Homo-oligomer: A and B are copies of this chain.
Amino acid sequence: MSDPVAESDTVDATTALVERLIAAGRSVAVAESLTGGAVLADLVRVPGASAVVRGGVVAYDTELKQSLLGVDAALLAAHGPVHPAVAAAMAEGVRAVAVVGGHPADLGVATTGVAGPDAQGGAPVGLVYVAVADAERTLVREHRFSGDRAAVRRQALEAALALLAEAVAG
């Protein structure tokens, strides 16, 4: 039914990242809070992404971070959702739940932070943590982004993909 319109062949950073994941045969799952699905949506833009991108969980409500990703309730109660240990637990949690063929995903990616317009608990607008977990280690990065809600979310998306690229390269 559809015209055989070719995808743009512009090689952007996300395309290069997904192609690297495909070449390496490494699967990925994503747990998103403030980015709300935008990281996954960006990854699946790339034709062939289904070979490595399994999906994930958008845990926008804090309670879903616990119920769907297994983030420790005491950790959330003590620090709130915008905390490096929460980002790490989300990345590790989504790896674990995205089981295909009996195996967890090779890589788990997570975002948590405050997009605004209002601060959240003690956390200011623009404070963002991104994390990437594999079977051996979990990397977490703290960022303090400027700009409005859309700008903070876009920068969080880019930071998550940059950390994933770093983990894949490393």
With an 8 A cutoff between CB atoms, is A64 at the interface? yes
Using a Cβ–Cβ cut-off of 8 Å, how many residues does chain A contribute to the interface with B?
57
CA distance A43 to B37 in the complex (A): 10
Name the interface residues of A3-37: CB closer than 8 Å to any CB of B.
3, 5-7, 30, 32, 34-37
Judging by beta carbons under 8 Å apart, are A30 and B58 in contact?
yes
A19 to chain B, nearest CB (A): 15
Our pick among B5, B68, B148 for the contact of A147 (Cβ within 8 Å) is B5
Name the interface residues of A93-129: CB closer than 8 Å to any CB of B.
97-101, 115-117, 124-127
CA distance A82 to B37 in the complex (A): 21
Judging by beta carbons under 8 Å apart, are B60 and A57 in contact?
no
Known A47-B117, A49-B60, A55-B68; further 7 A-B contacts with Cβ < 8 A: A1-B126, A2-B152, A3-B147, A7-B150, A36-B55, A50-B61, A64-B98
